[in-house]
Structure 1
Amino acid sequence: MPRITIIETGLVPARWRERHGSFPAMFARMIRAVDASVDFDVVSVPNGEPLPDPASLQAILITGSSAGVYDGLDWIAPLEEFVRAAYANRTPLVGICFGHQLIAQAMGGVVRKSDKGWGIGRHVYQVTPGNGVIEDAELAISCSHQDQVIEPPAIARTIMSSPFTRHAGLLYANGATLTVQPHPEFDAAFAYELCEARAGIAPDVVVAAAKASLAQPLDSARLGQAITRFLLRK
C-alpha cells in the first residue's frame, strides 16, 4: 500500500482548524482524490516530533508554514539535513511554499522576502513545456507568501513561473525532488480566509484584488494530480 510521510512545518490557527483541518489533512484530501489507497504518516516538527530516516520512507511531502526558512528556529537546520539525505537517497520529495523554499535553501539556493510584497489569492503560473511532470501549459493556483526563492540551487531548473514569482516551481536534477510555491491543497474558501487575514498587513488594494480573484476557477486538482503521480512514481 502506498504511504506518504508528511512533514508538518506549520500549524493551522485554531479558529480555522475545525472547518478546514490541518495542513496534513488538506494534503491527504488532495492526494486521496487521486488515489484513495494512499496512507499517511505525519511528523510535526514545530511540536518537537523527531525526523525519521528518509531512506526508510516511500515518499515525503513538506508543508507550508508561517515561519521563514531564515528564522533560525531550532528545527530548521535538522530539516535541511533531512532534505539533503532524502535527495541523496532519491526518495520522492515534494515541498510546498515553505517546503519549496526550505528545500531550495538546503540545496544551496537563496530565499528572502521579495520586494514585490505579499502574493495572495489566485495567481496564474506558466509551465515550461516538456518538463515531464506537469502537463498543463498554465495553472491558476492560490498562494499566500512574501518570501520567495530568489536564486534556485544550481541543481534545480525552473518549471513554473509567474510575473510575481519567477521561480514558482523547481524540478531537481535527481529526478525525485519537485517543489512549488503556490498551494494546491487550499480550497477557495480557505484561500479567501487567508486573504481576509492579511487586511491591515498587505495593502488594501492587494487584499481586495486577491479576494476578487478567487471568484475564478482554480486548477488545484490538476497540480494535485501531478504531485500525487510524482510522489507515487506513477
Structure 2
Amino acid sequence: MKIGILQTGHAPEGMVELQGDYDNMFEKMLDGHDFTFQTFSVVDGEFPSTPQDADGWLITGSKHGAYEDHAWIPPLEDLIRDIHAADKPMIGVCFGHQIIAQAMGGKVVKFDGGWSVGRTEYTIDGKQVALNAWHQDQVVELPHGADVLGHSDFCANAVLAYGDSIWTIQPHPEFPAASVDVLIRTRGKGVVPDDLLATATDRLEQPTHNADMARHMAQFFKNKARA
C-alpha cells in the first residue's frame, strides 16, 4: 500500500539531525506495516497530480497556521476535498488535523487559552492515552460530518473522524521525547511560557502511547484499503 505524505512544514535543524524531517518521522513510525511512501512537499509547492497518486494520504505538522495566507494552502484544501471525494483514506496530524477541518468547513484559530506542549493526557475512544503535544492553534468549530473521538482538558476536539475515510489527531504520535526537547530549545523559548516549557521538560522521560497510535494509524489505512 502506497502512502502519500503531504509535507506542510520542515523540522528544525536539530530535529532533522536526530530523526530526519517530518516525512521521515512518519515513515519510521509506520515501518513494518508493508507500506511504501512518497513525499509531496506541498509547503514548497510540490503537489500530486490526482488523489489516485497514492492509496492513502497523510498530512504532517507545520509551524504555519491553517488560517495564514500562504499560496499553497488553498490548493491543499482543494486536494483534501478531492481525496475525500475519491474515498481515499487520509490521516492528519497537528497542522494536518487543523487544515483538514478547515477544508471541510470547520474553523481553526489561535487559541485564547494558550499552548499545549509536551506529554499530555487525552481520552481517546474512552481510553487514557499519553502523547506529546506542541500547539496553540485549535479546531474550535467542527465541520459537518465530523465526530469527536478524543479530547483533553485543554483541547476539546483533539481527535476527529469523518466517516471511515478520514482520521485526524491534534497531538504528535510521531514525536518521541527527543523531538519535544529540540522544540523546547529551538522554538519554545520566548514564545511558549517558561512554566509550560519547564513542565514539558520535567515530563520528557515519562512514557507515551506512540506505538499504540502507530498501530492504530496503520490499521486505519489497511481497513479502508480492504473496504
TM class, shorter-chain normalised?
Answer: over 0.9
The residue number in structure 2 matching 1:142 is: 132
Alpha-carbon shift at residue 19 of structure 1 (Å): 1.5
**Structure 2 alignment gaps of length 5 or more:** none
- 1:204 aligned to 2:201? no
1:77-156 to structure 2, matched below 5 A, reads 77-129=74-126, 137-156=127-146
The residue number in structure 2 matching 1:230 is: 220
Paired AA for residue 39 in structure 1: T
1:179-190 to structure 2, matched below 5 A, reads 179-190=168-179
With 88-97 and 10-19 compared, the bigger mean Cα shift is at 10-19
Q: TM-score, normalised by structure 1?
A: 0.92
The residue number in structure 1 matching 2:182 is: 193
Q: Do 2:66 and 2:95's aligned partners in 1 also have CA atoms closer than 8 Å?
A: yes
Once the two structures are superposed, residues 107-145 of structure 1 have per-residue CA deviations (whole angstroms, 9 ceiling, x without a partner) of: 00010011111111001100234xxxxxxx121000101
Paired AA for residue 72 in structure 2: W
The residue number in structure 2 matching 1:3 is: 2
Q: Do 1:51 and 1:79's aligned partners in 2 also have CA atoms closer than 8 Å?
A: no
SS at match of 2:43: coil
Paired AA for residue 49 in structure 1: E
1:57-68 to structure 2, matched below 5 A, reads 57-68=54-65
**Structure 1 alignment gaps of length 5 or more:** 130-136
Q: List structure 1 segments (4+ residues) > 6 angstroms apart after TM superposition.
A: none
Paired AA for residue 42 in structure 1: T
Report percent identity of matched pairs: 39
Report the number of matched residues: 223
Q: How far apart in 1 are the matches of 2:57 and 2:182?
A: 28
**Cα RMSD over matched residues?**
1.2
Paired AA for residue 22 in structure 2: F
The residue number in structure 2 matching 1:215 is: 205
Q: TM-score, normalised by structure 2?
A: 0.94
Alpha-carbon shift at residue 89 of structure 1 (Å): 1.1
Q: How far apart in 2 are the matches of 1:22 and 1:167?
A: 27
Q: How far apart in 1 are the matches of 2:171 and 2:85?
A: 25
